[in-house]
Copies of this chain bind each other. A is one copy, B any other.
Amino acid sequence: MKVVLIISDGLADQPIKELGGKTPLQIANTPAMDEIARTGVNGIMDSIAPGITPGSDTAHLAILGYDPYQIYEGRGAFEALGAGLEVKINDICFRGNIATINNKFTVLDRRAGRIKDDAEELVRAVNGIKLNFFPDIQVVIKHTVEHRCAIVLKGPHLTRMISDTDPHKINHQINESQPLNGSSEAIRTAHIVNLLTREIHKKLDADPINMKRRIKGLLPANAILMRGAGIIPKIRPITEIYGIKALAIAVGALYKGVCNAVGMDLINVQGATGDYETNTVVKAKAAVENLPRYDFILIHVKATDNASHDRDVMKKIKMIEKVDKLANYLLQNTDPDKVIIAITADHTTSTESGEHTGDSVPVSIRGKTVRVDSVQRYSEIDCAQGGLGRIRGINLLPILLDYAGKSKKFGE
């Protein structure tokens, strides 16, 4: 049997006053998700551990079977891999935000007005930028989605042990990157990152595209905020651990990067955009089309998490219902005797606070080998009554592959 896993990012939530203390998932109309729950086995899952708030990167690593406490080496390398950049063992990678700053380096908008159209060209203008006094450092920058980009520093004596330049809030100056330990590598890397930040600003601020943006009344995209310095972790790919072929259908660079790092193939799907406009059903179609060639297909949808970060309850409900259409397509176009369908979230995102939380997430699994329990609805509360009980993220892939008959016996 094959496995298709839907991860709806930040799908789970905390109670919301305007929903009478219910969660968006409890309120949304989700007939397909509910069918998975009703005809399947259900449970709740802590991506990392109970009460631990996961990042998107650590959550996905855990759900793909790795202990992030053992292997996590920062977010950056996943962003870079997901952007399609080549990442070598000692490269230091960052997630970048294309942003707007004033001449005092105060951040006016962390996303340059959620820039879309000009972002790719502006990033291309600073890719390969040279740094005075550091001729041995190569800078690779690549645009990904909306205001996002990935940055890779290549060269000798670099380390990921430095702090972000991204202040993570507006009306604050860009941070000076600081060494996180006393090593000469950390002092050197922080210095390079601060120099790079100034050089990028100088170049972008004078770029003709930004001149035009100012004339149009748009915010200039004149800085790149850097965060999540990371190196590529040393891990054994899931393809090798489980002897499977695996595919990820995701748009966000971070998710593509994590999946790529664990040995999964990636495909791009026309119409899947990683934002609110995304077409979720085309992802389901792509999954069904690729099922003959893969044992395990992960479909990632980001928009549910975006809605929570934007603290927009109605949009979250709408995005959940979009994910339900994806689930529905899978139900309509796969045979439960041949395909295990599972749905879960990587973490809870509270739409009240706009932040990730450490709450568990619901998980439902359908297929001929699962023991059907009495849960009738896919929700944070209903699934807690299910036959799976409370599991960890690291348990999910072994459970799914076991249902698919692909588990290896330990012992005799």
Q: Judge whether A372 and B51 touch: CB under 8 Å.
A: no
Q: Does A374 contact B (CB under 8 A)?
A: yes
Binds B, one of A28-36, A289-297, A400-408: A400-408
Q: Judge whether A412 and B372 touch: CB under 8 Å.
A: no
Q: With A and B bound together, what is the CA distance between A15 and B370 in angstroms?
A: 7
Q: With A and B bound together, what is the CA distance between A368 and B58 in angstroms?
A: 27
**Which residue from chain B places its CB closest to the CB of A352 in the assembled complex?**
B369
Q: Does A75 contact B (CB under 8 A)?
A: yes
Neighbouring B residues of A44 by C-beta, 8 Å: 387, 389
Instruction: List 17 additional A-B contacts (Cβ < 8 Å) besides A53-B410, A69-B410.
Output: A43-B389, A44-B387, A50-B398, A52-B398, A53-B408, A58-B411, A72-B411, A75-B412, A227-B412, A228-B412, A357-B405, A358-B398, A358-B407, A380-B387, A381-B387, A384-B388, A390-B391
Candidate in A353, A370, A381 with the most chain B CB atoms within 10 angstroms: A381
Q: Does A220 contact B (CB under 8 A)?
A: no
Neighbouring B residues of A385 by C-beta, 8 Å: 385
Q: Judge whether B401 and A51 touch: CB under 8 Å.
A: yes
Count identical subunits in the complex. 2
Neighbouring B residues of A357 by C-beta, 8 Å: 369, 402, 405, 407
**Residues of chain A at interface, number, CB under 8 A:** 69
Q: Does A286 contact B (CB under 8 A)?
A: no
Q: Does A198 contact B (CB under 8 A)?
A: no
CB within 8 Å of B: which A329-382 residues = 350, 352-353, 355-360, 368-374, 380-381
Q: Does A68 contact B (CB under 8 A)?
A: yes
Q: With A and B bound together, what is the CA distance between A398 and B50 in angstroms?
A: 7
CB within 8 Å of B: which A29-61 residues = 43-44, 48-59, 61
Neighbouring B residues of A68 by C-beta, 8 Å: 410-411
